[in-house]
Structure 1
Amino acid sequence: MKVLVVGGGGREHALVWKLKQSPRVAEVYCAPGNAGIAQIAHCVDIKADDVTALLTFAWEKRIDLTVVGPEAPLSAGIVDVFNDHDMAIFGPSKKAAEIEGSKAFAKDLMQKYAIPTAAYGVFTEIEPALRFIDELAANGPSGAGCPCVVKADGLAAGKGVIVAADVEEAKDAVRSMLEGNAFGDAGRRVVIEEYLEGEEVSILAFTDGDHVIPMVSAQDHKRIFDGDQGPNTGGMGAYSPAPVYTEELAREVEKTVLLPTVQAMKAEGRPYCGVLYAGLMITAQGPKVLEYNARFGDPETQPVLMRMQTDLVDVIESILEKRLSQQSVDWRSDATVCVVMAAGGYPGDIEKGKAIAGLGDALPSVEVFHAGTASKENHIVTAGGRVLGVTAMGPTIREAIDLAYQQVQRIHFDGAQYRKDIGRRALERL
């Protein structure tokens, strides 16, 4: 079997790594890939959102299965195009991917089908948005509803969410999106939500449009600095499992979130097949949905796939053939931790072209997944904001954390930054 993975980040490196373990896979291609992926697969110089070129390549190479990593090609309709040409591809259709492509659509869907989420409003004009922020503040505890959350409606690479500490910061966020073009087209419409107190958890699930198999839990670390300080990023690390996510909560989320979401999408004429990601807040009132993603999360995929024992190709085929109910998925009991090493300046203006040392010195039970890397004059150099995802597995979360940071200490590049507290919440609970 020939497999094509679309994308070039840490998630795609993890997908290629996992797919290559299948005895059924003979060759793996990745478009565009990165320097790490190039060591284990054939990288192809095609951008992830160039749907026409990807289709042509898959047709000419007689690719048996295409697996889509990032959200942009899904929102552009790559699955529909491949299906129209009878090419097997894993991911939701363009209409189904709108669950991530439009936060307003997702919020309206949850409200219509009584899926638990935060109170919200959707706005394209500034004055009504500002009044809504004042209403949230007035109706909050002791007349102080902020912090509240301001989100760009469209795709913003994980950075279009601002948690405002007070009313003025919330209003400034609205102005920067609707007037200042802070996130381009993605911010021409904004979603304003009440702030939810609790602990976040990421739940990814396989679904064939009717049935759901949840994956093991993970917790992402969005903020750039330790202690969840600083601006949001695409993710500075993740670990699995998340102790906050008990078996009881898992049953509740499957019953009140995952299955109802899949059923709602089917009822709306948007059957959802692929990986459904639910970002949850575990509140005192129970789990509530913060957001959906229409694909594997990044960096959650790295620790989650390290724990997956079942052949990923088998699971994907069971979804494409609508027989997920007959498929089982097994997981290792070990814990896994991913620490992201980012470029200097991230998540703002980043430094590229910095030589990376220490990549050939991996400890046992550690995988160094490349994200923003490139090859230059026989050296691997930085080429993006998130550069590497150092991912370790151990019998306990503490051992996995220690192993991941031991590996991080062996890798060097100018300006490298990373959080020192990945997994902290897990240790506090344990």
Structure 2
Amino acid sequence: MAEDQLLMPKMGESITEGTILNWLVAEGVSFEEGDILVEVATDKVDNEVPAPSSGVMKKHLFEPNSVVAVGTAIATYEATEEVAVEKKAQHEVTNKKSASTSQKASKKIAPMAKPMVVQNTAFTVPNGNLFISPLIKSIAQQQHISYEELARIPGTGKDGRLRKSDLMQYIEEGRPYKFAQPSVQPDPTAYRIPQLNLDKGTGKIVEMDRMRQMIADHMVYSKHTSPHVTAYVEADLTELVAWRNANKKNFLEKHQQKLTFTPLFVEAVAKAVKDFPMINVSVDGKNIIVKEHINVGMATALPSGNLIVPVVKDADQKTLVEIASEVNRLSALARENKLSGDDIKGSTFTISNVGTFGSVMGTPIINQPEAAILATGIIKKRAEVMERPEGDTIEIRQMMYLSLSFDHRIVDGYLGGSFLRRIADYLEQFDVNRKI
């Protein structure tokens, strides 16, 4: 018989390639229609590829860990009807035996998926080069689990590979290896967190919801990962405020969009990022990734009080009307708890408008894996000394403080300060003759 080809399947609209995790049917082994032949991972999910018909596996064209484009042949097989008949007969003979032993097998396998109970919080990494699939990496990022913590989780896949079920089981058990330390001799000069028996007081107990726990983990992770430095400037927004107040009604009538200050801040930030591209980066080990897109996140409070960061994608390529439309859409969805996964992914720089809550200024924590975050304070009228050709005068001006927290591993004071000053300059030098 002629050999058929098994193709890398399309597993989503935006998926163009997949990673072969594990071949479940070896070369020369027979299978029947519906049997799982191979496990494939994408950046969204792990998939099991079933056999399109009964046959015999002839040759694997790619080894595990290979990244293969969708539609590419990954194996050859010889379709046959005899295999299906033979295997069906075998299943009928051993059906009772398989059913009776399946529960026992599951009981034996289940403990393998559970991490070992750690008594002394010590662990040994079995394989420092352990392969991590895109799906595992995605879940780990969402749960703020480091590579070091992933390496501590026993894997039940081939060659000790970590599977999705292993990771989800680990998370359900409360991440027992979260604070485990390597079983090596401690460095006597290293800083250790003191174990203080603090009096936490008494009162009503309010359990954190899942999102609050994720926020807490994310904030601790960010402070632990990035050495934070915060710079401050103040900006005179008198001209910008006057232009916005004079045009917001016409803007709404002409474009059916509210004109808040947020789109103006997003626009200024996008311009400044183009001027200083090394702000638009993230760290990957010893490498710095300079992002090709400028996606501005805006920290937004949900009705529950939790914080979320919807993202204005490619803000530098959008007009003010387009930015305002996107800001209004995302804000409305946030208020209704209807933001999608795509709405909150991909930010490369974040703005936190603490002025919304009446704060004069703030010192925000970096939204990992970004390199910096901007906080905009309340716009407040103040008496300022203005230098005029005819002499100094005291005038009432619309002033706002801006602060930039940046990761001092990759952003130095000169870059951080210059970038922050550039944002303020764009806001102060706003064109009052601008048409809507």
TM-score (norm 2): 0.22
Query: Could you say which structure has the larger radius of gyration?
Result: 2
